[in-house]
Chain A
Amino acid sequence: MKIDHSVPKEYATEENRLKIFGFWIFIGAEVALFGTLFATFFTLVDHTATGPTGHEIFELPPVLIETFVLLTSSFTIGLAVNAMRLGAKKAMLVFMGITLLLGLGFLSVEIYEFTTYVHEGASLQTSAFTSALLTLLGTHGAHVTLGFFWGLFIMIQVARRGITPETANKSFIFSLYWHFLDVIWIFIFSFVYLKGMM
């Protein structure tokens, strides 16, 4: 495997470059996937039947916490990639660790939020609106959960094997994924919560 030292490690081999390119296409597919979920949500947002509306169940504080936590984690994963490029393994692991902890924090608040909704009579089966809402949020949440374990496995590999072209590539792709989840969340925050609360 030829290693090109003139570029950052994550791009250093042919295989690495292919993987990053392929992952961008995967993100394109994910945009289509979430786009469909958003379209479904917008179609069904007023179909509340006898169940509650978004206005009735949405609360600002947990949503603000979630937003703050997730946006911060996007910043820290950026710091982790920066540390990786500087070759600072320890700093990289610390920043990745903080990122994953923030992700865990996000998930805890989301789980709290979901239980509150169900408590208030807004479960998956209540109305077309709640089905669409919980599916959209749940799909994003499932992505964060998957990302948590994925990131954890990569951290273990970086800790054991150091910053090699291979682990750097994995970490970089993971950071793309994590940023993407943040972008989706911004759409959820704006068009689901803020619009719903207005």
Chain B
Amino acid sequence: MKEYFSRFALENGDDPMIIGSQIAIAVVSIAIIVGLTYFKKWGYLWRNWLTTVDHKKIGIMYILAALLMLFRGGADAILMRAQTAVPNNGLLDAQHYNEIFTTHGVVMILFMAMPFIIGLMNVVTPLQIGARDVAFPRLNAISFWLFFFGAMLFNLSFVIGGSPDAGWTAYFPLASNDFSHTVGINYYAIAIQIAGIGTLMTGINFITTIMKMRAPGMTLMKMPMFTWSILITNLIIVFAFPVLTVALALMTMDRLFGTNFFSIANGGMDMLWANLFWVWGHPEVYIVILPAFGIYSEIISTFAQRNLYGYKSMVFSMVAISALSFLVWTHHFYTMGHGVMVNGIFSVTTMAIAVPTGVKIFNWLLTLYKGSIKFTVPMLWAMAFIPIFTIGGVTGVMLAMASADYQYHNTMFLVAHFHYVLIPGTVFGVLAGFTFWWPKIFGFSLNERIGKWAFWFIAISFNVAFFPLFLSGLNGQARRMYTYSEASGFGIYNLISFIGAIGLAIGFLLIVYQIYWSTRYAPRHVDGDPWNARSLEWATHSPVPEYNFAITPTVDSIEAFWDKKEHGKEIFKGKIEEIHMPNNSGLPIIMSAIFFVFGFALVFSMWIVAIVSLIGIFVCMAYRSFEIDHGHHIPVEKIKETERKSGVTFNED
């Protein structure tokens, strides 16, 4: 009995950090349950959030979960920087450090960046194309809950059984049973798998939505740039994620059933894992960056108060980037023994990505040129993005040169490079989009003054935190080393970097304060177009009614809402009719919760629980197959009443 339960405990189970987390999880869980019961909010929570199929609410839940994960991954980052702040530091031991940089990478990419972007795409895309909903509302809820429970399963590893410790790339043989004894890598394989299935469904859902549900008159070349970026992103998702699905499944089989795909014994190939991982992993980089490009395009054009320069070349460069993203994966392991020819080809394809990316940068600059710029918080993020991202891009071209990469490979230079692309690219992007669309979602604006403080803290601290790492990397500091000697001379760079990390933390806390303050004190505006914006999502009320648009808009230009305001073009033609909407469903959350149990059982090889829960999943699917659910209709009177409350009157009234 004791032996059975001992596997759930960590090898260093007396670590105060882990015990502290266990207590914190228990306390928070109890507090939530007690709180909900005391305030009688269970019904409200269930009806309005947990079972919702409304794309706007699902988007909000995605963003909320992503923000939580941002702080979880951020805590890892602070610990890492604290550990390496001074030479020979003993804050963390090597194993703990391995676990922390692994979970930092996984959490930030898969459970923060991507969900944040999917959250924004959920809220904005249907509105931007003038649709009532996404193509498959219930599937959308399933996507969210699979992501959520996948993320929770992954986070559970810290307190039950041990975190993954082989890096976010989980290279074999390091990730095999021989070298990674805890169940950490099992958690990695299964939690990401569950979340990944959800992401694939999102891809299918949004391609269908964008291709089939655009407002009349909105041809592909009249779509707003954010919607274009989302379409391309979802195409990448649909072709890249199945590769990850297979790779993780093979990894799971190697670890649980003794197959020989990646373990060296009996003919397995460790390089097969590296290839499969990066065939998915490199496109993944563009999954998190292209939507940010779309967000910046919207924001720069709105606050430069000009239409976007070079619309067609923007679209074309995104398509080019998405195609090239599948042809560069080998640049992640130049030094692992390819021939000159292979390295040469991948070197060229990698550098080629700089061309369409450069086209986009110039288009943004030319949009700003002669624009009358308003320096709002979203615009500040977008303006800071351009120079910082360019540093990231240029160092990327340095790394792309295979021969030179033999010098930089696996040094802090690489770490600095990808933080210089991902943070301005994705994190600034989602923060900009979040601030930009916040009034759309909630009907009031975030405080600009606190937002500017947060912006300057983060933008400056970011450079303090990561620029020194370029230098220490060029001086030879390897990444993923938990400590270094004083004689190496890396100390000063790492100390500065730690100070920057603290500054970043303060900046993110300021954003929390900004949200708190604005929620309590910011003035409410009912029918808001606070930014004087250009695209269709601003043509309806803020916050958006359940049915998005009372009358489906008709458009004939790229910036339909702008043309309505400037040229008086009528976009709402016709009269109000009853609107068909889907019903809420408890199935997505229930099925995903069973997935969670199934995943947990697999991690610890509890076969009976695994089989029972797997049957449970199939029962849910069968139930869904037989269910008859035609949704419901919102009657005309109710729509008119909602519209009247938002101050809109229609001719027929």
Tell me the A residues contacting B by CB distance below 8 Å: 1, 17-19, 21-22, 25-26, 28-30, 32-33, 35-37, 40, 43-44, 47-51, 124-129, 131-132, 135, 149-150, 153-154, 156-157, 166, 170
Contact = CB atoms under 8 A, between A and B. Distances in A.
A168 B580 CA distance: 21
Contacts of A51: 266
Contact of A154 (B211, B261, B276, B625): B625
Given A32-B239, A36-B276, A21 B261 contact: no
Contacts of A30: 242
Residue from A21, A33, A36, A49 whose CB has the most chain B CB atoms within 10 Å: A36
Contacts of A44: 261, 267-269, 272
B208 A40 contact: no
B267 A128 contact: yes
Contacts of B265: 49
Interface in B168-217: 200, 203-205, 207-208, 211-213
B169 to A, nearest CB: 17
A26 B238 CA distance: 8
A125 B246 contact: no
Interface stretch (B250-258, B470-478, B485-493): B250-258
A125 B260 contact: yes
A21 B276 contact: no
Contact of B259 (A25, A26, A48, A131): A131
A131 B260 contact: yes
A33 B246 contact: yes
B244 to A, nearest CB: 9
Contact of B261 (A17, A19, A32, A40): A40
Contact of A37 (B203, B246, B272): B246
Contacts of A154: 625
B269 A43 contact: yes
A40 B257 contact: no
Contacts of A1: 580, 630
Contacts of B279: 36
B653 to A, nearest CB: 26
Contacts of B261: 40, 44, 128, 131-132, 135
B626 interface: yes
A36 B242 contact: yes
B83 to A, nearest CB: 37
B238 A128 contact: no
Interface in B571-630: 580, 618, 622, 625-626, 628, 630
Contacts of B213: 18
Contacts of B618: 149
Given A32-B243, A131-B259, A47 B268 contact: yes
A170 B625 CA distance: 9
B241 interface: yes
B242 A32 contact: yes
Contacts of B258: 124-125
B243 A28 contact: no
A83 B630 CA distance: 26
Given A22-B204, A135-B250, A127 B239 contact: no
Nearest to B582: A15
A48 B267 contact: yes
A24 to B, nearest CB: 9
Interface string B379-412: 0000000000000000000000000000000000
A170 to B, nearest CB: 8
A148 to B, nearest CB: 12
Contacts of A128: 260-261, 266-269
In the complex, the 7 A-B pairs of residues with the closest C-beta atoms, listed nearest first: A47-B267, A128-B267, A33-B242, A131-B259, A32-B242, A49-B267, A36-B246
A128 B263 CA distance: 9
B247 interface: yes
